[in-house]
Amino acid sequence: MKFKVRLALVAVIVLVMFILHNSFWLWGLDDRVPLLFGFMPFAFSFYAGYTILAVIAMRAIITLAWPEPPADLLQPAGSEESAEK
């Protein structure tokens, strides 16, 4: 897969997460959805779920577009202090 396509997929993930955070049309459910575990109303439990989704989204972004750098690239260019201890 071309890197530009991967970046586009990352952008889609970010957009979906942004829309979910700003999903004002769901606010009407705040007093209608049953409590989660007996103490989490929807305005709270939504973000418990959102947290799990955020971890999955970051995992997907890492897989899609976060490559490890080639080892030779990390050699400092001309800084004597940058050498690994």
Partner 1 sequence: MINILGITVIIVYFSVLIGIGIYGARVSLKTREDYFLAGRGLGSIAVFMALFASNITAFTIIGHAGFAYEVGYGAYGYVIGWSIFITPFTFYLVGYRSWLLGRRYGYATQPQVFGGIFNSKLVALLFLVLLLYYTLPYLVVSIIGGSLAFTTISDGVVPYWLSSFIIIGISLIYTIPAGLRGTVWTDIFQGTLFLVVAVLLLAAVARALGGFTEITERIIETNPAMLQRELSEKIAPINWFSFSFINSIAVIVFPQMFTRILAARQSSNLKRVSLYYPLAMAGIFAVSTLLGVWGSIAVPGLTGKDADNIVPLLIHQFLSPAWMILGLVVILAVVKSSIDSQLLSFAHLVTDDLLPRLKRVSSGQAVFFGRILLVVFAAAAYYIALVRPAAILSIAAFAFSGFSVMLPVMIGALYWPRANKHGACAALILPAIMLHLWYLGVLPEWTTFGFMPVFPAFILAILTLVIVSYLTAPPPAEQREKTFGIFDKVFKYEEKSAEERIQPKSS
Sites of contact with partner 1 (CB under 8 A): 2-3, 14, 17-18, 21-22, 24, 27-28, 30-31, 35, 37-39, 41-44, 46-48, 50-51, 53-55, 57-59, 61-62, 65-70, 73-79, 81-82, 84-85
The CA-atom distances, in angstroms, between 42 and each of 9, 36, 46, 56 are 29, 8, 6, 21
Task: Give the three-class secondary structure for 36.
Answer: strand
Tell the smallest beta-carbon distance from residue 83 to partner 1 (Å).
9
Tell the smallest beta-carbon distance from residue 59 to partner 1 (Å).
7
From the list 71, 18, 85, the residue with the least C-alpha distance to 10 is 18
